[in-house]
Structure 1
């Protein structure tokens, strides 16, 4: 039984949420669970030729994009977590730290030999402390 469900979203790839969001909402309703979303943006490395505030506003931009996706999917009240760093590490850290007992993550179209299992998905499945539901396209 799930009490807290974490849905991963990539606002730049609609395959990460088109099928997964309705299924995550359905699972949350079925279990009476809290549903949260997370998007991880790559850590911005400060290079000498970039201004000190390079990347400022990135988290807020991504938060608005994710909120628009949730609004479109009738899930406006779902809390949004925006993390920065390694995708799989940040998903796993959040899931563990905040006591999520299910992670919903969509597979991606890929080439042989990975097909639909990319490196982040594989690492989340392999290392998660909780159930991981993989939504295939």
Structure 2
């Protein structure tokens, strides 16, 4: 039984949410669980030639894009987490820290040896402390 479900999505890749969002919404409804969405943006590298606040608007931009996707696809009112760093590491850290008991994640075509699951999904499946539902195309 799931009480907290985590859905990682990428606002720049429709495949990350087109089928996974409806599946996550259905799972949350079925279990009566809370559904949260996470998006991970690459860590902004601090270089000496960049201004101190370089990349400051990135979180707001991503949050707005994610919220628009959710609003347009039946996910209004979901809690959105914006993390910064490596996708699989941040998904795993958040899932563990906040005691999620299910992760719903879309597959993406990868290269050998992952074929139908990309490297981030493969690492999440291998290392998650909880159930991972893989939504395939």
For this structure pair, what is the TM-score category when the shorter chain's length is used for normalisation?
A: over 0.9
Determine the C-alpha separation between the residues in 2 that align with 1:7 and 1:117: 16
For these two proteins, the number of residue pairs brought into alignment is 137
Post-superposition Cα deviations, 1:76-103, rounded to whole Å, max 9, x if no partner, equal 1110000001111110010011110000
Question: Which residue of structure 1 lines up, in the alignment, with residue 48 of structure 2?
Answer: 48
Residues 18-33 of structure 1: pairs in structure 2 closer than 5 A: 18-33=18-33
1:110 matched to 2:110? The reply is yes
Determine the C-alpha separation between the residues in 2 that align with 1:29 and 1:114: 31
Please report the TM-score for the alignment, with normalisation by the length of structure 2.
0.97
Determine the C-alpha separation between the residues in 2 that align with 1:92 and 1:115: 22
Question: Please, which moves more after superposition, 58-67 or 104-113?
Answer: 104-113
Which runs of 5 or more structure 2 residues have no equivalent in the other structure?
none
Aligned-residue Cα RMSD (Å) equals: 0.9
Shift of 1:24: 0.3
User: Residue 35 of structure 2: SS of its match in structure 1?
Assistant: strand
